[in-house]
């Protein structure tokens, strides 16, 4: 027999956004159910040192932080479910979602916090050196490379913005792009080309991230010229892959309004989506900031928006 779980607040995703929504929802007496998805805890579970989350004077570990947030959510009354949603019906309330094992989840409101994942180059050496010199977030990790040589891989707005940001920490920033022109907006390109501490390597692709030292960390990159095929090497202490992000919104295509990049559209200043009673928070709707603390903030907003929605709906029922 197919299991069915019903709640006033159904939350998809268990990163900072989803767990913060769960904490606020539970404290409001809504007994939220959190469907944790393929990666319980979100992106921070694959992040080692976290130095910019408020409240901790010393560096903390990403997996530890997410475990604490999950435990806090459970402590105040949220229920965690290990499942992956494969089908949604948002045409009527309560909303109906189905997990990959057939379990049905029913929610009077739905908070979507499924996040977004960084796009990577797909190199074996990239995987081996993630967190050891290779990163996909300059804002998160740039501080660790003060006074060191860093490179950024990419040619769009994100890559250019990260290269410029990294000059706050490094006087030696190199942007590596596989073509001979950038896709970034002209105003960003003008800032990049005018900066004395940034140089650009054109028509270069990354063949390998090179590790060394004890403990092992990034020491350089092997490059290949995309026009001539010539091989070269560049020394670097930090490498930032900035080729975009993929929001986890596939299951919602056709059910919610998404922007041109696949992120969920929300009303300005709120977490309300195109479907009343459905709210989105965290990186699944935010392609600008993409920080744990901003995700947590929008998780709080989503829970408060959902709580107000339910209060108004309940009031209307009482009047009917």
Pair (231, 127) in one structural domain: yes
Mean pLDDT for the stretch of residues 288-316: 93
Contacts of 208 (CB under 8 A, 6+ apart): 123, 125, 221, 222
| Among 41-55, 201-215, 232-246, 249-263, the least confident range | 41-55
pLDDT of residue 42: 81
65: domain range?
4-117+245-319
Tell me if residue 24 falls in helix, strand or coil.
Answer: helix
Contacts of 198 (CB under 8 A, 6+ apart): 163, 164, 167, 173, 174, 175, 192
| Among 43-47, 80-84, 316-320, the least confident range | 316-320
Q: In the 8-state DSSP scheme, what is residue 125?
A: H
pLDDT of residue 256: 97
Distances (CA, A) of 78 to 8, 131, 204, 260: 11, 31, 49, 34
pLDDT of residue 140: 86
Among the residues of the chain, which ranges form H helices? Answer: 16-27, 62-75, 124-128, 138-141, 157-166, 186-194, 292-319
Residues in the chain: 320
Pair (127, 236) in one structural domain: yes
Q: What is the pTM of this model?
A: 0.83
Pair (126, 229) in one structural domain: yes
Distances (CA, A) of 244 to 127, 204, 211: 17, 18, 24
Contact 42, 18 (CB under 8 A): yes
* Final residue in a domain of this structure, among 217, 242, 267: 242
* Final residue in a domain of this structure, among 175, 207, 242: 242
Direct distance between the N- and C-terminal alpha carbons of the chain, in angstroms, rounded to an integer: 36
Pair (31, 113) in one structural domain: yes
CATH of the domain at 97: 3.50.50.60
* Final residue in a domain of this structure, among 182, 210, 242: 242
Pair (226, 128) in one structural domain: yes
* Residue with tokens 């994942």, as numbered in its chain: 117
Pair (73, 130) in one structural domain: no
Pair (277, 310) in one structural domain: yes
CA dihedral 253, 256, 262, 268 (to 10 degrees): 180
Handedness of CA 70, 73, 75, 81 (dihedral sign): negative
Pair (233, 128) in one structural domain: yes
pLDDT of residue 1: 60
Contact 238, 146 (CB under 8 A): no
Please write the tens of the pLDDT for every residue from 173-221: 999 999 999 999 999 999 999 999 999 999 999 999 999 999 999 999 9
Please write the tens of the pLDDT for every residue from 126-176: 999 999 999 999 988 999 999 999 999 999 998 999 999 999 999 999 999
Contact 30, 11 (CB under 8 A): no
Mean of per-residue pLDDT scores for the chain: 94
Among the residues of 2-144, which ranges form H helices? Answer: 16-27, 62-75, 124-128, 138-141
Number of structural domains (the chain) is: 2
Catalytic residues: 137, 140-141
Pair (189, 155) in one structural domain: yes
pLDDT of residue 40: 81
| pLDDT above 60 (res 320) | no
């Amino acid at each position: 027999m197919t299991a069915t779980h019903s709640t006033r607040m159904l939350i998809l995703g268990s990163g900072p956004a989803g767990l913060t929504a769960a904490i606020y929802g539970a404290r409001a007496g809504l007994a939220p159910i959190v469907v944790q998805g393929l990666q319980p805890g979100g992106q921070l579970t694959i992040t080692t040192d976290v130095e910019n989350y408020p409240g901790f004077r010393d560096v903390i570990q990403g997996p530890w932080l997410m475990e604490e947030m999950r435990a806090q959510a459970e402590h105040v009354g949220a229920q965690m479910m290990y499942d992956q949603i494969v089908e949604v019906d948002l045409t009527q309330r309560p909303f109906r979602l189905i997990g990959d094992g057939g379990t049905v989840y029913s929610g009077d409101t739905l908070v979507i916090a499924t996040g977004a994942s960084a796009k990577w180059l797909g190199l074996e050496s990239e995987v081996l050196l993630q967190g050891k010199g290779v990163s996909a977030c300059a804002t998160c990790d740039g501080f660790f490379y003060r006074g060191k040589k860093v490179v950024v891989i990419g040619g769009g707005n994100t890559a250019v913005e990260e290269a410029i940001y990294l000059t706050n920490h490094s006087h030696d920033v190199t942007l590596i792009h596989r073509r001979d022109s950038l896709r970034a907006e002209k105003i960003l390109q003008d800032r990049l080309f005018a900066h004395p501490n940034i140089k650009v390597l054109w028509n270069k692709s990354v063949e390998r991230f090179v590790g060394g030292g004890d403990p092992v960390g990034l020491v350089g990159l092997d490059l290949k010229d995309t026009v001539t095929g010539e091989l070269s090497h560049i020394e670097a202490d930090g490498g930032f892959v900035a080729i975009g992000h993929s929001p986890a919104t596939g299951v919602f295509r056709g059910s919610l309004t998404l922007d041109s990049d696949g992120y969920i559209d929300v009303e300005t200043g709120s977490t309300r989506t195109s479907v009343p009673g459905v709210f989105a928070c965290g990186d699944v709707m935010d392609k600008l900031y993409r920080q744990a603390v901003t995700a947590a903030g929008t998780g709080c907003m989503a829970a408060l928006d959902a709580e107000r929605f339910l209060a108004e709906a309940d009031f209307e029922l009482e009047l009917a």
